Amino acid sequence: MSTESGPQDGKELLEAVARRRNFAIISHPDAGKTTLTEKLLLYGGAIQQAGAVKARGEQRKVTSDWMELEKQRGISITSTVLQFDYTGNTINLLDTPGHQDFSEDTYRTLAAADNAVMLEDAAKGLEPQTRKLFEVCRMRQIPIFTFINKMDRPGREPLALLDEIEAELELTPWAVNWPIGSGEQFRGVIDRRTREVVLFSRAERGKQSEERHLSLDDPELLELVESDLLDQAVEEMELLDAAGAELDLELVHAGELTPVFFGSAMTNFGVRPFLNAFLEMAQKPVARLGHDGPVDPLSPDFSGFVFKLQANMDPRHRDRVAFVRVCSGRFEKDMTVRHARTGRSIRLSRPQKLFGQDRAVVEDAYPGDVIGLNNPGMFSIGDTLYVGPKVEYEGIPCFSPEIFSWLRNPNPSAFKNFRKGVNELREEGAVQILYDTDESKRDPILAAVGQLQLEVVQHRLENEYGVETRLEPLGYQVARWVNGGWPALEKVGRIFNCKTVRDAWNRPVLLFKNQWNLNQLSEEHPALELSTVAPVVSGVEPISL
């Protein structure tokens, strides 16, 4: 099916794309990501009251955390999509897991993002997980906006925080606003472009804060802010001006310069000024790379790719949802699309707009939007859907796991549910599944980046599929895929000090007890090429348990 598009449709598409902004937040655990997400929704009018993350008793639960385990532990484990309108723009916020054990899910979400917001704790500066995720953004040349959070608590000097970004990430920071004081003496920020001072009063918990705007030379300012704090802020701003960096949007969009904002998400300081400036500077939906080159979002034919699968978001319906990032053209409810991997035609009859756990049927969607499709087992991560001439987007890589355990099902009568649960959780990428090369060993091997991922799989098998399981650790820490597959491995002959297993696409994976064993194999067989990232699959059906 190809949609005929006249000048009117082209104009509508152009306007829709111009209105859209799409971003993901990257941060280290505890930097305040879920709190910032909630406050952005609060200002966007999407929720009336923000819920503190570690919600107790009558406080609201956080909108973006929906899994039972997330609510118990006060962490974000899965990625959700939150769409809201603000000042005439449509914002798609791709919420990512904050816990380091779930970096794989975050990498996949970044594949669907046009911009990233790097959240830093003012006291801690750059932290390991932030650096790791920054590298993924750099790999994809995603523009980065920096929000330095928790300014109302004791923290490091703002100038030192900027220096650290420049020295460690080789990213030029440009402070859009500058803090007046910090910790107990945090009074507000000065916008460097307009020289307007925004003063904040602490808001009632969960509500929007009162903001007062004054010019920097307004005499009333000295009655409201201590002169020494104001003088210091102005002096530091003069230092920044003398340093000479310019705010250049081309450099921002190339991922070389980061606009920096100061504030405190928990007390609402600086969230609205950040949101306004972000909308002005952020990149609109951009062309995505397909196998035959970039695909323009303004191309009239619809295309999109699956970047995430999630089972049982609604426990009552035991559903499975495929998250699709729209890349070009206009998506319409009930349209028939081609599935690039299988070549089949699929009618998309119940597309959903997602907001945490809430759903609404969506009539149409445009580049930059994310839609949820009911997934009766036909979609895999990385799949392309398209209308018109064939499009296939680049797949999303799997990263090397570091923890491996047999997943045992002690109750043979529950095998049917066990198999269903394992297959569905593998599909959504909750964990990688490996299999022994000995066909008689039927139990799957769970492979993950962190221990918490394995606990989540067990928790979900029990709560969503009614299956109790046992984990038996394998003593391996390093996995490598064999370039050239089974033929390359057979050519080498017998190899020692490692275990050979199959992944879900029947490719050989070598497991090593440690890096030393891996180095030893590489020395003994220099012709054997090993990779830390799984080859990207297209057109191959995975193995089911």
Query: What is the pLDDT at residue 207?
Result: 60
Rounded CA-CA distance 16/13 in Å is 5
Q: pLDDT by residue (tens digit) across 432-483?
A: 899 999 888 889 999 987 787 788 889 889 888 899 999 999 989 999 999 9
Q: Mutual orientation of helices 415-427 and 451-465 as an angle, nearest 10°?
A: 130
Query: What is the pLDDT at residue 202?
Result: 64
Q: pLDDT by residue (tens digit) across 381-408?
A: 888 999 999 999 887 767 678 889 999 9
Query: What is the pLDDT at residue 30?
Result: 74
Query: What is the pLDDT at residue 367?
Result: 96
Query: What is the pLDDT at residue 60?
Result: 41
Query: What is the pLDDT at residue 384?
Result: 93
> Which residue's entry shows tokens 């064999």?
482
b (16+ CB within 10 A) / e for 40-54: bbbbbebbeebbbbe
In this prediction, the residues of the chain whose per-residue pLDDT falls under 70 are: 1-8, 45-80, 96-104, 202-210, 311-319, 350-361, 375-376, 397, 399, 430, 535-541
Query: What is the pLDDT at residue 541?
Result: 67
> Which residue's entry shows tokens 């969009």?
253
Query: What is the pLDDT at residue 248?
Result: 94
Query: What is the pLDDT at residue 311?
Result: 62
Whether this prediction's pTM lies above 0.85 is answered by no
DSSP state of 15: H
Query: What is the pLDDT at residue 339?
Result: 92
